[in-house]
Structure 1
Amino acid sequence: MPVGTGDVPPAPGNQSGPEVRPSEYGDDTVTDTSTPRAEQPLDDEAPTEAAPVEGEREENGAETAPSKAAGEGDLFRQSEIAADYVEGLLDILDYDGDIDELVSGGRPMVEVVGGRLQNLVGQRGATLEALQELARLAVFRQTGSPSRLLLDVGGYRATRRKELAAVARNAVEKVKEHGDLVRLEPMSAFERKCVHDVVNAIDGVESESEGVEPNRRIVVRAAD
């Protein structure tokens, strides 16, 4: 069953819910809400025009010093709120899936496992990213605080990380062999973060993002 905007329950406190408009390219969904930009949940994997919030991790892996880390209980509460939201979505779609809420790496997580869930992932994770933003908004509506919630369905993110690690290593090999920079195909913020993490762990090369969504991509080059 395709997942459309009419299938997604509105986040608590927002009767109409945000409008999710998938773009022509995979992960670059655009979420329109009436919430002012400064009040929307922060995406620690995506670059922003504003200065990074303390304690958040930028796309290229740099991290600022946290001013006050959220407690384990607060993070788990965020995962519970998001899990309830996702459970409501599965009920509407009549999908069966096991939902686990947990805290890993200092961030709340919700994992959905089960058959017939591919429609919740979408092409290159486009639907998954949209649902993650809706779940983060649900958390924000109840707690009043932005969330770094990570949503995964059917182990998609773990599989995609492995694929992107191979892409990153291949780009590094080309740079070291020929010396020329390598431009990768446009990627989502999540995908770019995965590539940056791999490249930044290898001596002699560096990476940066260029362009604007939905055509923002990574450039890998020899380090200065």
Structure 2
Amino acid sequence: MRILLVEDDLPLAETLAEGITDQLYTVDIATDGILAWDYLQAIEYDLLLLDVMLPHIDGITLCKQLRSQNYQMPVLMITARDTVSDKIMGLDAGADDYVIKPIDLGELFARIRALLRRGSMSLPPILRWYQLELDPSTYEVKYAHKLIHLTPKEYCILELLLRNGRRVLSRHVIIDHIWSIEDSPEEHTIKVHIRSLRQKLKINGAPENLIETVHGIGYRLGER
């Protein structure tokens, strides 16, 4: 899951991004409304974490602009103003929820999870593919009920594959969903992670073709 954090207070943005990354989300930071708009046009995000007070384009205006252009991702507003009228203004602009500064990280993570669940109502709480199970609420992965220990990137790649099933994902698409703009790796890195992920799945009884390579295109989950 990829989140765009729009916050002009850079120390706060970096603190929030670090905490959100620890929850196994990919985070990009934009420090003003214009940069945020550029990012949103170039990259598909699963959630927008949007400060109200921003340089150039404020959060309310940016939210209205997004909704007028039919952007559907959930928007979680960040504001230091907690009056009813301020909340109404943000919700009327198209925001889905509010979090008030100073931000409690536990509350923030809970609101992010709730909004992402709401945006994926067609998906079951636990993602399954034959005997493979991934629980996004606990970050646990099991095959045939045996727990598999994955690195954060391996977990994120597997979750992305599970959310897409038989759809083929290119290495470029995987990078776009899992790595931030500042931390984008070479495509060869994806091969390394996929190889390690396959080995860990195989050790726990999964078939070799559980993750298929579609040569020249990318990867997808295999059929049994």
Which has the larger share of helix? 2
> What TM-score do you get using the length of structure 2 for normalisation?
0.30
Return the index of the structure with the highest Cα Rg: 2
